[in-house]
């Protein structure tokens, strides 16, 4: 078992057994070469690694071992010296089934690696807080898990006969930065990590070679998934009051009741 997995399991156990614990000294983890190496490996294994951000760097440019290690050392040095600053994401559009276009934000390869580092350190903590009915952006879960659960509910024994599907319009575009950071601060005491996340939220975007500020929302397309902590408390209360007549399933930003 690698040291990374051991650390992640330790974080998960601590989060599970102490729901009010605030984690500190997390920033030093993402500065370790082993963590950066793992994060880069995960990013490069993604099909999207072939797509460049605004700096033009792609997976192919790191094929040489010397370039690969130089990239890791560069990320490590910038993080250690607190010089790392995320670049604006490249705004592109992809077609949707309804004829409209979905905006995506493509981060640089370096930013994707740092985002992966944040995911590696935050995911074990928040996995302990998520409700079992939530399936979106969670390891080992997918949309079919929601459908399989629905299938188990809709039968004569359980007597659930209606499915209400809802989709939060513009969910990613309307994420409030301050609220998200406040939710993160409920579990994270490491100010350096919170500052790094703030930098990503405020990085802005480039569209048609023009820079745009973003005081609201998070770009779709990056590796940092929205930590939708606020709705959980409300939905947990809803389940406790209506658990005999209502079951909730969720795949962000879509939900079924």
Q: Which residue has the tokens 């659930």?
A: 160
Alpha-carbon 117 to chain mean position:
11
Residue 247 makes CB contacts below 8 A (sequence gap 6+) with: 133, 153, 160, 239, 257
Bridge-based pairing state of the strands 89-95 and 205-207: parallel
Neighbours of 106 (CB within 10 A): 21
CA-CA-CA-CA torsion sign (119, 120, 124, 125)? negative
Per-residue pLDDT reduced to its tens digit, 130-140: 777 777 777 87
Per-residue pLDDT of the chain (257 residues; tens, 9 = 90+): 799 999 999 999 999 999 999 999 999 999 999 999 999 999 999 888 888 999 999 999 999 999 999 999 999 999 999 999 999 999 988 888 888 888 888 999 999 999 999 999 999 998 887 777 777 777 877 778 777 888 888 877 777 777 787 777 777 777 888 888 888 899 999 999 999 999 999 999 999 889 998 888 887 766 554 444 433 334 444 444 455 567 777 776 555 55
Per-residue pLDDT reduced to its tens digit, 94-126: 888 888 888 888 999 999 999 999 999 999 998
Q: Are 107 and 221 in contact, with CB atoms under 8 Å apart? A: yes
Rg (CA), the chain: 20
Q: For the chain, give the mean pLDDT.
A: 84
Q: Are 177 and 201 in contact, with CB atoms under 8 Å apart? A: yes
Apex 98 CA angle, 92 and 101, nearest 5: 10
Distance CA 146, CA 247 (A): 11
């Amino acid at each position: 078992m690698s040291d990374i997995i051991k650390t992640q399991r330790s974080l998960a156990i601590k989060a599970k057994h102490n729901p009010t614990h605030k984690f500190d000294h997390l920033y030093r983890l993402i500065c370790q070469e082993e963590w950066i190496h793992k994060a880069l490996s995960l990013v490069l294994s993604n099909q999207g690694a072939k797509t460049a951000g605004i700096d033009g760097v792609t997976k192919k440019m790191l094929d040489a071992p010397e370039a690969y290690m130089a990239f890791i050392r560069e990320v490590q040095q910038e993080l250690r010296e607190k010089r790392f600053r995320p670049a604006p994401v490249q705004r592109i559009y992809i077609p949707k089934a309804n004829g409209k276009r979905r905006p995506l934000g493509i981060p640089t390869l370096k930013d994707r690696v740092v985002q992966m580092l944040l995911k590696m350190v935050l995911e074990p903590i928040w996995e302990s807080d998520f409700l079992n009915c939530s399936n979106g952006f969670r390891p080992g879960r997918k949309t079919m898990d929601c459908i399989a659960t629905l299938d188990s509910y809709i039968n004569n024994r359980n007597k659930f006969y209606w499915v209400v599907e809802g989709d939060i319009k513009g969910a990613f575009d309307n994420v409030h930065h301050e609220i998200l950071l406040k939710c993160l601060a409920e579990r994270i005491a490491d100010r350096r990590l919170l500052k790094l996340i703030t930098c990503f939220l405020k990085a802005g975007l480039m569209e048609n070679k023009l820079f745009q500020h973003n005081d609201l929302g998070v770009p779709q397309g990056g590796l940092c998934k929205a930590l939708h902590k606020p709705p959980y408390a409300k939905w947990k209360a809803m389940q406790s009051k209506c658990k005999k007549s209502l079951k909730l399933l969720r795949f962000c930003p879509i939900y079924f009741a």
